[in-house]
Amino acid sequence: MKPTTLCLIVMVLAASAPRASAGSPELTFSDRVEAQRAIEAVYWRHRVWPKENPEPKPALSQVMPDAAIARKVEDYLKESAALESRWQRPITAGQLQAELGAALERQRHRDEAVLRVRHLPRISAAARSRIAAMRRASAESLPCMLRSARLRLFRRAQPTM
């Protein structure tokens, strides 16, 4: 699961978690649908439209109607209720934050591993290229160095007048 997907899921679940203070208002279903619509809009804006498709990218409302967004909200509310039932207590914001932190840390480790694996061939190719260049340079310069050394020796051996 991508970290952005996980972040958005955690944000939605956090919005559905009970409030810590008794004075804060509970989110209504329509508030949750609006929040989910905003999340889907972010996803849609960042979706790359294929170059092979000559049609312009449609609006989000054309590809995801309000009914589909409302179904998503119903689904995550059911999932939250199932967890609360299983754990015999509501999901807290602290639990959601801890899960988000752990997931982001796991993703960071995966990303670092992927970067190492992706760059290893490049590093090896660059190292091989430098070694080959050094060998060529030394092979090409060896005769030149020998000639210049002979010239220096020859000049030293010549009597000065």
Q: What are the sequence ranges of the domains in the chain?
A: 3-91
Written as tens digits, the pLDDT of the chain (161 aa) is: 555 555 555 565 555 554 444 445 688 999 999 999 999 999 999 999 888 999 999 999 999 999 999 999 999 899 989 988 998 988 888 888 888 888 888 888 887 877 777 766 666 676 777 777 776 666 666 666 666 666 666 666 666 65
The full DSSP string for 133-155 is: HHHHHHHHHHHHHHHHHHHHHHH
